[in-house]
Chains A and B, each alone.
Chain A
Amino acid sequence: MDNKEFNLRKDWDSIETVASDIWPEEWSQLNPLEIKALEEIIEKKKSLNTEIVDVPGGMGCDFSVDLENVYYLLAILWYLKNLTGITNEDIRRKMESFIKASDKRMKLVYKTVIEPQLDNLISILKKK
């Protein structure tokens, strides 16, 4: 594993710890491979919707809502983690404008899970 990749993994490890602490009931629904896949989608700035292929016919069980919830959670934490070298107030402002431009589901995740403990999350995730 090269240095850049190692640092990226370290970032994700800390985000995963935070995510499992703040939303355990949703986090525990996904398996490690799904979490890894979601992280890759976020890293490569792809959209989750384009990754979910609709297969016609047959009988099926769709759990993409679980994926969506954790995807939004990780995406917000990833954005938060990358806001470095600025004050808490600036982070909050930038965060709010980022959420404003996002879709309804992401807004809901932010409002219910992230916002109540934003200051705490900033202090945990802020890069030294």
Chain B
Amino acid sequence: MVLYLFIFRILDLLNTILVICRCSVLCLITCFFNYTALYLLPLAIIVDWGIFQFSIQSVFKNQLLDLNKAVEEFKEQGIDLEIIEDDIIKEIDTEMRKYQLFQWGNRQGDKRTIVIRVNKLFGQFKSFAFYNASSFIFVPKTFYPQSMKDRILLAHEFAHCVSHDLMLAFKRQFYCSAIILPLFVLVSDIPAWMKISAILLASVLALLQFWPIAYNEIIANNHALEVVNTLYGAKFMSESAKYLLKVRTETLRKNIKDKRYGLAYAIEELQIEHLQRSVSENALIQQSSPMNVWLSIIHYSLFALAGYACYSFVKEMNVSWYMLIMALIAFILIYVLSKINVTKIWIIKNLIYEKIGIQ
């Protein structure tokens, strides 16, 4: 069991590297066939770094704009926002922090999870998670921390706030892979069937990019149940798992009734599948990854095609100082642009904090 978990973690790490450092890995593969391609490595690293930076920043910005929209709507309707603090909230927060990913995300000051009671919110919990700033959980006017249901739903939202918004950035990385990898194939001199396969694989990859969002929910359920188990015991966890399963099943029925068969439907179905296993085995399902089997197979195939294309592309390549100069200019450009973007995002963030009443 421990060995399986170890292999699973290693594969997970490799997959993550392949998703985030795709250009650099392609460049290294090409170096096996033509060492002069090593000169392209700085450029590949910069492109990967730039794409990752902008993915994270755009997720952060979109989440902030969504939060702004929600707060604006509350204010328009004259809804009161009340920051609540409670011993139960504190203990869930403290326990959940053990699952915090990327502690370095706290560079920009005091990162907290703030629970806000909204007197018009009824029948739902909402969270706006930020990996590098304070996250917000909006709870309904009837929030009652002593009840089992409210605790598990709160723990689920807290789980989203321990950096899992990075999965939204991961989704964008898949989207980038679906554009960049076939580009290598299309501009190179390789057989037509390979080009067609690359386009087909890229289309399926683009369709499957919702998986990190589904994973985000599955892992939030797992962490919430784990926290509940540590704090309140196994019986409470088992009851909570059943409740989550019930809520998800009801939501799926609602989606069917409203004829919503897209992303929301798929996410609910995958969550139900995992929760059913949790309930029937009365245990937590640990082995779920940001890349499922189908996503991995498609990504690897696309990678193999792009690797081959890259090799054929740089077969005749000569060493050139222009490439290094190009890499340097690209780095400076991306760096400067990302700084301008970050400054804009932090201005938006501070404005929203003011609206909520937080300094």
Contacts and interface: CB of A to CB of B under 8 A. Distances in A.
Interface string B114-137: 000000111111111100000000
Contacts, number: 99
A56 B69 contact: yes
Interface in B131-168: 138, 141-144, 146-147, 149-150, 153, 156-157, 160
Interface of A: 29-34, 36-37, 51-53, 55-67
Chain A to chain B: the 9 pairs with minimum beta-carbon distance, closest first: A57-B66, A64-B123, A31-B144, A31-B147, A33-B142, A65-B250, A34-B142, A60-B126, A58-B128
Given A33-B141, A33-B142, 16 more contacts: A31-B149, A37-B122, A52-B122, A53-B77, A53-B120, A55-B73, A57-B66, A58-B67, A60-B124, A60-B125, A60-B127, A61-B125, A62-B124, A62-B247, A66-B123, A66-B250
Given A52-B122, A60-B125, A37 B149 contact: no
A57 B70 contact: yes
A31 B122 CA distance: 12
Contacts of A37: 122, 141-142
B254 interface: yes
A67 B125 CA distance: 13
Contacts of B250: 63, 65-66
Contacts of A34: 142, 144
A109 to B, nearest CB: 14
A61 B247 CA distance: 8
Interface string B186-220: 00000000000000000000000000000011001
B251 A51 contact: no
B265 interface: no
19 contacts: A30-B149, A31-B142, A31-B146, A32-B144, A33-B144, A36-B142, A37-B141, A52-B124, A57-B63, A59-B127, A59-B160, A59-B216, A61-B153, A61-B156, A61-B157, A62-B123, A62-B124, A63-B250, A66-B247
B243 interface: yes
Interface of B: 63, 65-67, 69-70, 73, 77, 120-129, 138, 141-144, 146-147, 149-150, 153, 156-157, 160, 216-217, 220, 243, 246-247, 250-251, 253-254
Contacts of B143: 33
A50 B243 CA distance: 26
B247 to A, nearest CB: 5
Given A52-B123, A62-B251, A57 B153 contact: no
Nearest to B145: A31
Nearest to B213: A59
B247 A57 contact: no
Contact of A63 (B144, B146, B153, B160): B153
Given A37-B142, A55-B121, A29 B67 contact: no
B122 A55 contact: no
Contacts of B149: 29-31, 63
A32 B153 CA distance: 16
A57 to B, nearest CB: 3
Contacts of A66: 123, 247, 250
Nearest to A34: B142
